[in-house]
Copies of this chain bind each other. A is one copy, B any other.
Amino acid sequence: MTHSEKPIQSRLLSAFSGSCQDYPPIWLMRQAGRYLPEYREVRAKAGSFLDLCYSPKYAAEVALQPIRRFDLDAAILFSDILVIPDGLGQMTRFDEGVGPVLLRLEGPDDFSLLSLTRMETHLVPVYQTVADLRATLPREVALIGFSGAPWTLATYMLEGKSSREFALAKYWAYVRQEDFAHLVDILVEAVVLHLSLQVKAGAQVLQIFDSWAGVLDDWGFRRWVEEPIARITARLKRDFPEVPILVFARGAGAQFDGLAGRIGADGLALDSMVPLAWARDVVQPQTLIQGNLDPAILRIGGPAMDRAVNDILTAWKGGRFIFNLGHGILPDTPPQHVAALVRLIRESGKATK
């Protein structure tokens, strides 16, 4: 190979190296989803929600929809964090208006039935979706792969559904620590495998979602959020040093201080509650930050959104920064609000020139 091929670097990827940019790259958590009429059309054809996740044709299609509509800097694999338990052998379904329902793990005997081999086979369509997406996307649009984090996955696997109190998960996490550590070990392996296969299929950035990080106390956060994620990132960094890893530890609050270093992340997704000046002064010097418009304000749109977006840009655009929401898009968000948001971000570059 004598000629050097210079890849078109996406704005999203260059944000990690801190390259100077006039406006931040933007993508939105759950940018593919129910708020788009074209998503609802595909969803109706695909069958169940998991059928959609496991259909490369349909899953790639819905991941591309927001890219066609809006000038976004990244596409994210269309999938769900619960494909891991489902792939490992724990039957999972999504009931309309209820959410996920899993056949609950009762204890260590059940843990040992979970199978990485089964997962790798079961999730082939997911990796196929990644490959199809990368082949279809323009090169300047980065492709993000993702996974749930062990703690959040474990809550669903032990509670069998979305929880408010996490009584069962906390029982295992605080009382049956040794057994729980065994489950977490399995999940660390599963997440590493799942993310590695996504990278091999074409994912250029990874995001790890620990949506329920904010329900653990200090000890629990260190033991069940930080330790497992640190193990995952160490393994991924060894094999894929060039792939940036974002972590969304929702509700981590003051734990965001120093977190990127402790867990080996290249960037932290911040929820909407994180104070802007504090994030700028404390977190942004440590790592790239991503966030944090309140999805409720995106749904509201108009001057309220202009004000909130401007606050975030003013506070954060001096450092490493990817614009996003603080949580996923709400299903009843008007798509034109998303268009207006992307325009605001793009125009913020012109305004300061």
In the bound assembly, the distance between CA atoms of A296 and B175 in angstroms comes to 11
Q: A165-B296, A326-B217 are in contact. Are A274 and B302 (CB under 8 A)?
A: no
Contact (Cβ within 8 A) B253 A273: yes
Please name all residues of chain B whose beta carbon is closer than 8 Å to the beta carbon of A113 when the two chains form the complex: none
- Segment at the interface with B among A2-10, A11-19, A49-57, A166-174: A166-174
Contact (Cβ within 8 A) B273 A257: no
Residue A218 CB within 8 A of the other chain:
yes
Q: A219-B307, A219-B311, A278-B257 are in contact. Are A174 and B297 (CB under 8 A)?
A: yes
Please name all residues of chain B whose beta carbon is closer than 8 Å to the beta carbon of A277 when the two chains form the complex: 218
Please name all residues of chain B whose beta carbon is closer than 8 Å to the beta carbon of A166 when the two chains form the complex: 296
Contact (Cβ within 8 A) A217 B294: yes
In the bound assembly, the distance between CA atoms of A275 and B255 in angstroms comes to 7
In the bound assembly, the distance between CA atoms of A171 and B255 in angstroms comes to 30
Residue A65 CB within 8 A of the other chain:
no
> What per-residue 1/0 map shows which CB atoms of A298-341 lie under 8 Å from chain B?
01101110011001000000000000001000100000000000
A residues near B (Cβ < 8 Å) are 165-167, 170-171, 174-175, 214-221, 251-257, 272-279, 282, 292-294, 296-297, 299-300, 302-304, 307-308, 311, 326, 330
